[in-house]
Amino acid sequence: MKILYTTAGTATNGREGRVKTEDGKFDLQLSLPKSVGGPGGEGTNPEQLFSMGYSACFGGALALVARMQKVQTGPVQIEARVSLGQDESGGFGLAVELIGHIPNLPREQAEALMHAAHQVCPYSKATRGNIEVKLSVA
């Protein structure tokens, strides 16, 4: 693979610490949600951060596919719903639902673009076969 971009983020003290990027653009407090035994709080969590990265990346992949197919999508919003769960062995895992909001296209065409984007999105490639990813159109 030819590297096009590299960045770094650091987490200190796990899920109840801080995360920051090497360039200082993000420096965020983390809080463990009450639903997984934490105190809650004002901070974000890894699942929220992952949902934002995945939705942005997937939106970019969808725009690329649309350009390649010469499709004018109009406004596009991708919602990534990231769930943290516990598996049968007592370990933890993730599941994702990517919801495309593409109001200017017929549902069938929007669904086809979602599936095509899922084939080229780097996040989708990284998660393929590792976590359940569901695609839908609102």
Model pTM?
Answer: 0.93
- Please give the average per-residue pLDDT across 101-122, as a whole number: 98
CA 73 to chain centroid, in Å, comes to 21
Tokens of 112: 């086809």
pLDDT recorded at residue 31: 96
pLDDT in tens, 48-99: 999 999 999 999 999 999 999 999 999 999 999 999 999 889 899 999 999 9
pLDDT recorded at residue 100: 98
For 26-78, the DSSP string reads: -EEEB---GGGTS---S-B-HHHHHHHHHHHHHHHHHHHHHHHTT----S-EE
pLDDT recorded at residue 87: 87
pLDDT recorded at residue 137: 98
